[in-house]
Amino acid sequence: MELETRLALQKAEDNDLARRAAEGDRRAFDRLVHRWRDRLWSVASRMCRDYDDAQDVLVGAFSRAYSRIHQFRGDASFGTWLFRIAANECMGLRRSESRKAERLERETDRGIETVELPDLSVLPEEAALSSDLMDAVNRAAESLSEPFRIVFLLRDVEGFSNEETAEILGISVAAVKSRLHRARAAVRAELEHYLAS
């Protein structure tokens, strides 16, 4: 099945589940959570760079989505709507001065590490190389400042379009393109250093 068709079907299914959840069907919302939790966790853990904060963002995003499901109109995909809520949750945590010192301590003492699973269809030597390269990409993404890291993660890791990323973050498409260009340049520079060593 063509990717575009699959995405259209998923959007229609998500819209139907969201409509049923808004009518009080808890199972419909549970299905939405099941469909989106892994992708949302992936982005939340990378945006927050702290396990506890990522958990807070995940729980907060689904809680807010549940309490506001009646506000979901279906203009954008459910995923875009949900990721916007998660991005706002993460940025809210970042703005909280009471948690800032705690976050800095945790970043230096026990940061979160993202482990990418290698593609099992490649040879073991190639898998080790791609795993090392993915680790280097993750380290490079971690070094980006938050506005650039979030755009990089949404576009290049999660595969959202420029328009979806702009909607999630509440910024213009031009700002997404600009931040993505700078983020990719910084990651590329870091990878050139990695490949040269």
Report the topology of domain 1-112.
Rna Polymerase Sigma Factor; Chain: A (1.10.1740)
Q: Output the pLDDT for position 97.
A: 37
Mean pLDDT by 10 residues, the chain (197 residues): 78 92 93 92 82 86 91 86 87 58 41 39 42 72 85 85 88 93 86 67
Q: Output the pLDDT for position 22.
A: 93
With contact defined as beta carbons under 8 Å apart, do 122 and 132 qualify?
Answer: no
Compute the distance between CA of residue 55 and CA of residue 59 in angstroms, rounded to an integer. Answer: 6
Domain extents in the chain: 1-112, 114-197
Q: Does domain 114-197 have CATH number 3.20.20.150?
A: no
Render the burial of 84-103: b for 16+ CB within 10 Å, e for the rest: bbbbbbbbebeeeeebeeeb
